[in-house]
């Protein structure tokens, strides 16, 4: 069986107005996330799929993100199979942070230092 290569994009190449889906757990989200991203932990994705499709609208690309790229790769594969235009953010939040992209946290607006461990 042949599988198409998973669509990926570098964190630095995600458009500033791109739609982001963060599939990390609640504690990871609280430690630091992208302002405006839709947060649906991977274990809730199937149950909340309608929320995603309502949020993203027709034909808009979904940039899927987790901590380093493993969970988001699984979700990207699922979304592509459902007919959505989805890409995995290569390197996840660690790459996003390393690229100097903006982030906020649930506490005071700055990312938690534990986030990058």
Catalytic residue positions?
66
Please say whether the beta carbons of 45 and 65 come within 8 A: no
In terms of phi and psi (left: phi > 0; alpha: psi -120 to 50; beta: otherwise), the region of 8 is beta
Query: How many CB atoms within 10 Å of residue 85?
Result: 13
């Amino acid at each position: 069986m042949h599988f198409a290569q998973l669509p990926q994009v570098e964190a630095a190449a995600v458009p500033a107005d791109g739609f982001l889906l963060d599939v990390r757990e609640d504690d990871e989200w609280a430690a630091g996330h992208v302002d405006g991203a839709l947060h649906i932990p991977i274990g809730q994705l199937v149950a909340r799929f309608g929320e995603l499709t309502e949020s993203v609208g027709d034909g808009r690309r979904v940039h899927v993100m987790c901590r380093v790229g493993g969970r988001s790769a699984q979700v990207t594969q699922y979304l592509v199979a459902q007919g959505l235009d989805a890409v995995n953010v290569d390197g996840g939040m660690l790459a996003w942070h390393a690229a100097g992209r903006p982030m906020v946290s649930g506490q005071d607006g700055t990312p938690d230092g534990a986030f990058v461990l």
